[in-house]
Amino acid sequence: MAGMSDTPRPIAAVLDWRWLWHAARVALVSAYLIGGVQKFMDFPSAIAEQAHFGLEPAALWAAAAIAVELIGSVLVIANRFVWLGAGALGVLTLVAMLAANDFWHMSGHDRFMALNAFFEHLGLIAGLVLVSIISRRTHRA
């Protein structure tokens, strides 16, 4: 990548930094990792969160969210079966964004906030797709 003529040398040096690929994967899944640990440590609140968004049976949804957040994050961080970990996190994010950010039923400020959150989550799903693509290409190379 450093040989690309459109990338300034200082930027190329940062992009070529040995630990950047690992640090970026950790950062990408950090919210899932922290969320999974928090839900695991306070399972009643995790159940209440799922029930709040109408996901029933709430205990099953909470357990599934914890498993996906923790296992998916570890797979992405470890750079193993990234397609599986990122895919599971992407599906979880899609379910969450549809359940929690239903801007099409809102108006005013609430709609504004939900619309922004919806597309932020869509961007996160795109990041998970991109990390899967990059991981696949680096493993093939």
- Tell me the per-residue pLDDT of 81-113, one tens digit each, with 9 for 90 and over: 999 999 999 999 999 999 999 999 999 999 999
Give domain status of residue 67, yes or no: yes
Task: Classify residue 13: in a domain, yes or no.
Answer: yes
pLDDT tier at 1 (50, 70, 90 boundaries)?
Answer: very low
User: Do the beta carbons of residue 103 and residue 121 sit within 8 Å?
Assistant: no
In a domain? residue 1? no
Q: What tens digit of pLDDT does each residue of 14-60 get?
A: 999 999 999 999 999 999 999 999 999 999 999 999 999 999 999 99
SS3 of the chain: helix, strand, coil, percent, to 5: 80, 0, 20
Whether 23 is in a domain gets the answer yes
- Asked whether residue 2 is assigned to any structural domain, the reply reads no
CA distance 102 to 110: 10
Q: Is residue 3 part of a domain?
A: no
In a domain, 90, yes or no: yes
pTM over 0.85: yes
Residue 3 predicted with pLDDT over 80: no
Domain that holds residue 134: 9-140
Give the total number of structural domains in the chain. 1
